[in-house]
Amino acid sequence: GAVVSQHPSRVICKSGTSVKIECRSLDFQATTMFWYRQFPKKSLMLMATSNEGSKATYEQGVEKDKFLINHASLTLSTLTVTSAHPEDSSFYICSARAPPTGWSNQPQHFGDGTRLSIL
Amino acid sequence: SQQGEEDPQALSIQEGENATMNCSYKTSINNLQWYRQNSGRGLVHLILIRSNEREKHSGRLRVTLDTSKKSSSLLITASRAADTASYFCATGFKGGSEKLVFGKGTKLTVNP
């Protein structure tokens, strides 16, 4: 259980293009999803927390207008990189957290990531 | 910074040996989690240990947590070549925050 599907796995596109990445929880409902960015040989950097039915909460330094997040349902969140430029090239990973059971926090379950390359 | 820090940054061992990775953090936590990442892939959750727990096992994995020292360790016993991956600790904080803060990871190489 707790499978998260992220699509596409790889995108190569020209500078100025907008790119949409989808993150779906396949077998559970996720009221909260998270979007991360990972640079080569580095850790994951949280970009934003996506809440179903409300606006995403962005981390400091992350441009809201550049990285548009929509969480339209309990199983789908999307990240759109608008007018992408070469410096936006990176590995983007989403995660979804299953609802808590009692007082317990639940682990985050991750998609396989999207390798974005902007030429 | 609240970021966890793994130690060592890289570890190379022979199959069958045990691998120990450490993680230190700076603030009070609700839980600490260990994840594994194969090259170019997403993260796989391994173990979650709560702040009131000291040790947890899962198969060949053993995690310890010492909140007085703000540190945790991940032990992989009888390692296999398939264990080759990067391992990250992530801390969840008190105060209701759902965010995890990831360390920089330990790159483990298990040589056959």
pLDDT of residue A45: 92
Q: How far apart are CA A78 and CA A67, in angstroms?
A: 10
Average pLDDT value over all residues in chain B? 90
Residues of B in contact with A98 (CB under 8 A): none
Residue-by-residue DSSP string for chain A: ---EEEE-SEEEE-TT--EEEEEEESSS--SEEEEEEE-TTS-EEEEEEEETTSPPEEPTT--TTTEEEEEEETTEEEEEETT--GGG-EEEEEEEEPPPBTTB---EEE---EEEEE-
- Residues B3-57 have pLDDT tens digits of 567 788 899 999 999 999 999 998 888 889 999 999 888 899 999 999 999 999 9
Nearest Cβ partner of B99 from A6, A49, A111?
A49
Q: Are B45 and B56 in contact (CB under 8 A)?
A: no
CA distance to A63, A77, B41, B94, per residue, from A53 (Å): 20, 10, 29, 25
pLDDT digit string, tens, across residues A21-33: 999 999 888 888 9
A47-69 tens-digit pLDDT: 999 888 888 999 999 999 999 99
Residues of A with CB under 8 A from a CB of B: 4, 6, 32, 34, 42-44, 46, 49, 91, 93, 95, 97, 104-105, 107-113, 115
Residue B12 phi, psi (nearest 5): -125, 125
| pLDDT beyond 70 at A104 | no
What's the pLDDT at B96? 52
Strands B106-111 and B10-14: parallel
Contacts of B101 in chain A (CB under 8 A): 46
Q: What are residue B21's DSSP bridge partners?
A: B74
Distance CA(A47)–CA(A116), nearest Å, equals: 15
Q: Which of residues 12-51 of B touch A (CB under 8 A)?
A: 30-31, 33, 35, 40-45, 48, 50
Query: H-type helices in chain B, by residue range?
Result: none
- pLDDT for res B2: 43
SS3 B21: strand
B100 touches chain A (CB under 8 A): yes
> Strand, helix or coil at B56?
strand
Condensed to tens digits (0 to 9), the pLDDT of residues A72-81 reads: 888 999 999 9
CB contact under 8 A, B99 and A43: no
